[in-house]
Chains A and B, each alone.
Chain A
Amino acid sequence: MNCNREAIALMHSYLDGELYKEDERRLRDHLQSCPSCQEHFQELKRTTTLVKNATPVSAPPRFTANVMANLPKEKKRKNYLRKLQRHPFLTAAAVFFILMFSGIFTAWNQDQQVTVSKQENLEIRDHTVIVPDGVTVEGDLVVRNGDLRIEGRVDGDITIINGDIVESDSNNESESDNRLDRNNLRAYSGELTEVNQVYEWVWYHAKKTFKEIFTFEQD
């Protein structure tokens, strides 16, 4: 047996209580025939005894009391956090709602540019979208962040977000009256929706989504 490697490894395994019977016998046989390993083994055993018997120390007096005095006070915020950790589904739902609403609010606040659905022959002037006289717009019209003036015709629904439907200039009041009548009668053939408040905006989104789902199901 190689004294330096194998025998010493076996000694340590023995001291860790991890030596199989067969190896233990091999170690014992070797120790009987090898004085230097015997000495090494005795020293190791003595070392472990010395270390094991090192007086167990006790914590200083009033240790527990000191720890208890230094514990952080139970805080409401902590309870709150713990509750969040205990109810992952509730937390997930809350996060979802925060993200959803913040998304809609941001879309409402940031988009200050006048946008209009893609239709030809529309004029945009000073935040006002004009359907010029004699022009007929085919399909639904959506105006965002601007007013809408209809001098011609719209064939479909009108949605105005963050804006108004404007009647004519004050110069030609008499004409405008006529046109107003005409507006009321035939300027657009579908529904008119105006969305001006944030909650309306949210409602509009919800309705739109619902409608889309509904149409989808009908198809």
Chain B
Amino acid sequence: METIIKQKIKEVKKGDQSAFEDIVSFYQNKVFHICLRMIGNSYEAEDLAQEAFIRAYTNIHTFDEKRKFSTWLYRIATNLSIDRIRKKKPDYHLDAEVKGTEGLDMYSQLAADQALPEEEVESLELQTYIHREILALPPKYRSVIVLRYLDELALQEIAEVLEIPVGTVKTRVHRGREALRKRLRHV
């Protein structure tokens, strides 16, 4: 897959816009996932994910083909998300609890097709709860936890995405994990 993506990037660089479609459809879930876990609600996440892909497209010539494309793309997505979080900071703490319930938005899409059995509803509640607890982490811990556990990135790769030293990543993963442990221990 990696080689196909590399080929597609070459085509986009040559000016073939349609080659970008395959790149978007291959990475859309991961990018949307990162944005959703970072920002909390699916409308804003969709907006951010879309902007991330558009930025990747307009800046594709700055991408070094010797490096991993996903790292570069995730960096754009996390930076955009962190910027957005910073901008809305003034009202962020006041209604953090209320915001958390917006996490339900993303499940409304899942629920659209079929009626859910009882246990699945329960599991959805748990998912929403975990989602909310991740969102309650400060952004710098949230970003490492999201990249570490939702995309299973190695510490070294997280360091490259966030452009911080591996040691810092380690510390943040540890602290983020401890914070989550305290919040989820009663679940």
Contacts and interface: CB of A to CB of B under 8 A. Distances in A.
Interface residues of A, number: 34
Most central of A8, A40, A67, A70 by chain B CB within 10 Å: A67
A133 to B, nearest CB: 71
Contact of B21 (A43, A50, A68): A68
A70 B21 CA distance: 12
Contacts of B46: 59-60, 63
Interface residues of B, number: 44
Contacts of B17: 68, 71, 74
B185 interface: yes
A57 B38 CA distance: 13
A47 interface: yes
A57 B155 contact: no
Interface string B148-187: 0110100100000000000000100110011011001101
B11 to A, nearest CB: 13
A44 B145 CA distance: 13
A170 interface: no
A64 B24 contact: yes
Contacts, number: 104
Q: Is the interface of B mostly helix, strand, loop or mixed?
A: helix
A202 to B, nearest CB: 37
Q: Is the interface of A mostly helix, strand, loop or mixed?
A: helix
A85 B61 contact: yes
Interface in B41-68: 42, 46, 49-50, 53-54, 57-58, 61
Contact of A47 (B29, B58, B150, B180): B180
A55 interface: yes
A59 B24 CA distance: 11
B85 interface: no
A58 interface: yes
A59 B28 contact: yes
Interface stretch (B1-9, B86-94, B127-135): B127-135
A1 interface: no
Contacts of B74: none
A5 B29 CA distance: 38
Given A51-B134, A64-B21, A68-B24, A44 B177 contact: yes
Contacts of B36: 57
10 contacts: A12-B170, A12-B177, A47-B181, A50-B130, A52-B149, A54-B149, A67-B53, A70-B50, A72-B57, A85-B61
